A and B are shown apart, each in its own frame.
Chain A
């Protein structure tokens, strides 16, 4: 190899560090990407390692080419949406991994380093938690350390030194990072990024109770709620998210538009409040009912990738007062749910005022009544007959509903997370009369079906129930495992009334949360984390509360710092926001922050601070210099004093003691010294002491 070839080779120590850095930045992506991509990464890493050891050779050109083509085809075939974020990331990571096996020169290595920084940034598209931020900070340090390693001398291989320098570099950027975070304009993307598609956890818009043999319970957080007003009892916390009006083949789905005339509008933003106050919409808010006191709360919704928002009935004026967000982006649907205009791809904060006493739909339009009573024909005949028979026996809708709840309570029904599966056809018959075991959507579904069979408008509502109060942070945590389904029936004169059949079979579920209602068999399917959380071991629970409230505050202050909040603070700072002003703020902030770093560095390199006793003595020497007493540099302080005035034994002894015999001098001693020296200085100044000896 030519001399120049050797020069541009990657230093061996830097290569090892670089590979560690690569593994670190790719690592978190393994959650989103298909396993085969991770496999490719591992193989490429292994290959490069063998090349590093000198056992294998770099792949030939044709092999590299075919690998690239094969990976592109594989990504296309792997079933992710074209032009989705997953696909883009897959391609990026694949290219990144393949770059490993052709990384020969320094130039290649720098390319990989810059790509690593980019990949760190892409990870935040998927997760913005505090843990991820900390991890990526570490990854950034490692990548920087690899870059430092590239510039180390070949003869001086010290990976820990490059780590130290990299940490220092990253640490020094923090003030600037803070300034940029606070003031740099958040430019809306020129094109919208296709976000990770599909709801992955929690609620979905189709519920098929019979298909689920084992309901997986995830402790992932759905949202956190901070109440601004009095907190309602847990049994009243029904977070409505979806309304399932359509039933077919054992599956409940959201309502479809029945015909063209059907009124289906979503009212957006501020409009709701206007309608509420004017009472102009008959169907939503007749004036003669007292509105009662609202329940005010703020929801911090974790990304769901869907448009549904959650709120207590009846949500009004949902928006963020601070940022004016929601004026046009949050709407109220016809079935009184909150809806976001765009899928929630990042943490969303919104404030809601709910009026639990205001009835929903005092009068029911015909089309709606038709929709909420419709049932497929030739399904569940036993149930149909049973419902009609029961309805005939009871007097009135509400007593009929109560009777059904009584049936559930008195019968052999049990609540379980692992119910037997049911056939698509006649699923409700099967459940109600045969298996008699299920969870919330089984009971809610059967209840709604019975109501509809008797001609009563009814629908299933999905969302979350309850939540866990965090005494540390004074907020509620609602987890995916709190997902719940219940029923609403329409009663003339009261509107839609909530009935929760699950409370009949497992009242503990509503009063104390899911855990209380579970059998030991059900408990065994919960994760170890959940078990730890619900166990009564106070210390551990407290730790978990603290950790969660840290995450909550991170969401509030860091992730929640969106363009609107930024604009608000900026306008407080500089008045009207103009590009020029923002630029000035940025410039000033950046120079201030960098100046801070410079000062800190300067401060550290400064000479050791002078001892106070030396300071006092030097001031004295300067004072007497004017009167002809100049200390020779080889003269010790004690000698100097003795030369000026041989009778100053106490002063000489004290000076000698403070300088050379005590590790720390008290302020009393220092004051005494100062006083004595000042006295001597005055004596010198007054000419009482003549210079009798010249050096």
Chain B
């Protein structure tokens, strides 16, 4: 599967693995990068390969929550309101350029992401299962963006950067032309029930006490050190462990080793951390690297 996906997005094997890992851990994914790096392409490809129903929401600054969730429309013939589902009612939702929308519309996704349900007109509606949100965003420094608040960031299990392709891959890309048409030829390799069995398998991946100790030390470090504006939340710690489990599973292991934690750590915690010295919200990457280097694996 990774190979197939790699065929679409050249030279990005690590990022694709992380994206899959995130979905296997039943978490939402945030992809952040410059325009034109293939963010949308990745999401499309993932939806296709996993055989999920797919909706795309292009966020703009004049969007309203009902554009995401849906709206009740008056039916003249039947003389009543009936609900028209918004794009959020789909197994995989691509929230493209999420940080271009106003906070009001951004937060329309909040309940959907955490509770897997939406409440509209006082009525709670369940979302399909599985339910993923893959959001893409441009770097916050660009014009016309509203930064996601911490509360919303915390709901994404992982944030990944795609980054520029390496020269070889780029050459191949340039030689081979646009990959977009290939997307349509991608058939679904698995289906939703397979994904559910993966979730169960992830739950069963073994975690021993020395490893939990390591995760705890990592989390404690972020809460104790003064460089960190905020520590990692319990949800973050849980997510870290879950992602590490999924990572171990991808590497065909039935137990988690510290390397798994280290592999997923930057993606899982970078967007949750903020340096006290930097209010713009950057600096998570450097902090994560320091955390990795300083916290002892075995205590």
Residues on A facing B (Cβ under 8 Å): 610-611, 614, 617-618, 632-639, 656, 659-663
Contacts and interface: CB of A to CB of B under 8 A. Distances in A.
Contact of B210 (A611, A634, A635, A639): A611
Contacts of A611: 209-210
B208 A636 contact: no
A661 B293 contact: no
B297 A634 contact: yes
B298 A638 contact: no
Given A633-B294, A633-B296, A660-B211, A638 B262 contact: no
Interface in B281-299: 292-299
A617 B293 CA distance: 20
B254 interface: yes
Given A634-B262, A634-B292, A660 B256 contact: yes
Given A634-B262, A659-B210, A618 B298 contact: yes
Contacts of B208: 659-663
Contacts of A637: 297-298
B209 A635 contact: no
Given A614-B298, A639-B259, A661-B255, A634 B206 contact: no
Nearest to B261: A636
Nearest to B297: A636
Contacts of B258: 636, 660
A661 B299 contact: no
24 contacts: A610-B299, A611-B210, A614-B298, A633-B294, A633-B295, A633-B297, A634-B294, A634-B295, A634-B296, A635-B297, A636-B257, A636-B258, A636-B259, A637-B297, A656-B257, A659-B208, A659-B298, A660-B206, A660-B210, A660-B211, A660-B255, A660-B257, A661-B208, A661-B254
Interface residues of B, number: 20
Contacts of A632: 293
A645 B7 CA distance: 37
A617 B298 CA distance: 9
B210 A614 contact: yes
A661 B206 contact: yes
Nearest to A621: B298
Contact of A633 (B211, B254, B255, B293): B293
Nearest to A610: B299
A659 B296 CA distance: 15
A634 B263 CA distance: 12
A610 B299 CA distance: 10
A483 to B, nearest CB: 68
Nearest to A661: B255
Contacts of A634: 262, 292-297
B218 to A, nearest CB: 10
Interface string B189-223: 00000000000000000101111000000000000
A568 B211 CA distance: 59
B137 to A, nearest CB: 30
A634 B296 CA distance: 5
Sort A-B residue pairs by CB-CB distance and give the 4 closest, nearest first.
Answer: A633-B296, A661-B255, A636-B258, A636-B297
Contacts of A636: 257-259, 297-298
A530 to B, nearest CB: 59
A318 B78 CA distance: 111
Interface string B101-130: 000000000000000000000000000000
A296 to B, nearest CB: 64
A636 B255 CA distance: 15
Contacts of B211: 659-660
Interface string B248-285: 00000011111100100000000000000000000000
Nearest to B258: A636
Nearest to A611: B210
A604 to B, nearest CB: 19
